[in-house]
Chain A
Amino acid sequence: MSLTVHDISVVKALWAKIGSRADEIGAEALGRMLTVYPQSKTYFSHWADLSPGSAPVKKHGKVIMAAVSDAVAHIDDLPTALSHLSELHANKLRVDPANFKILAHNIIVTVGMLFPADFTPEVHVSLDKFLQNLAWCLAERYR
C-alpha cells in the first residue's frame, strides 16, 4: 500500500499543524502502548518507572516522535532515511515488528484525541498508510 502524492501532501500538512507538539504526542502514545498492551513492557524492563507520564516514558516518547518527524521530512525516500534505525532495531533492539503496528495505533489514537477537528477520516487513512510504510522500512534489515 504505497504512499500516493495525495498521502504525502496530507501527512506533510498534518505535521505542519501538529509537529510542534511532537514531544507530547510521543510521550502520550508510548504511555498508552505500555498501559493498553502490557506485552510491550518487556522491552523496557530496564526502566525504573513504566507508568504514563513518568520521566523515562516522556524522554523516550520524545526520541521516538523526533524520528517520526524526521521520517515525515524525508517522506519521499523512507527506506534511505530509516536505514540506520532499521539496523538498530534489527541487530540491537530486536523488537518484534508486530509492535510497530501497536505503537502506530496508539500514535493515531493520540493524534485523534489531541486534534479531533483535524483528524478527519481522509487524514486518518493517509497517516495510517504512512505509519505502515514507516514500519515496513524499519523492519527492512530484520532478515
Chain B
Amino acid sequence: MECVIGVVGRDFAVVAADTSAVQSILVHKTDEDKVMVLDSHKLMGASGEPGDRVQFTEYIQKNLHLYQFRNTIPLSTAATANFTRGELATALRKNPYMVNVILAGYDNDVGASLYYIDYIATLHKIEKGAFGYGSYFCLSLMDKLYRPDMTKEEAVDLVDKCIKEIRLRLVVAPQNFVIKIVDKDGAKEYARREYISDSPPDAAPVSEA
C-alpha cells in the first residue's frame, strides 16, 4: 500500500513517498514519482487512486502557476493548503478525489511548513505525518525520534528509519522510495532509496544450465 511521509525542520521540510505503481497483484513500475514539485518552493506528496492522484496534483499545480502569472507573486504555503482543501471539499459530495496529500513549502516570512490533507478534506498543520499502512509504523517512530531543531541530515535519517521499518514489517511492502526536500533554496529531489529495480538484469537473473 502506498506510503507518504513528511517531516519539518526549522528552515526545511522533507517529503518522502514510495515509488511503486501497483494494481491488484501486479507491480506496474517501481520508480513512479509521487512527490510533485508544485512550484519553486512547494512539494506535494500524494497517495491514493492513481488517476485521481495525478489529475488532482496537476490541477493544483496549474492553479498555482495561474495565480503566479496573474498576480506576479506566488501563493503562500498556507494559502495553497487551504485552496487544496477547498478543492477536495467541493468535490467531496459530488465526485470525490480519492487522494491523500502531504504538502510542504518554504515561505520567506514563515519558514518551512508542513500540511496534512486527507481525501475527505481534513486539513492539519503538522510537524510530522504520514499516510498509508506505513503510517502505523512511521508515526510512532517519529513520535519517539523527532525533534523540532533537527538538521537536514538528522531528518533524512529519521525518514530512512521509517523506510527501513516499512520494508521490514509491512506485508507486501513497497521497496523503493523517493525523498525530496524544500528549503530557502527551493524544492528538489534529495535522494532515492532503491532496493529493487525494473531493469532486466536484476529482475530475473539467468542461471547457467
B partners with A: no
Residues of A within 8 A of B (CB): none
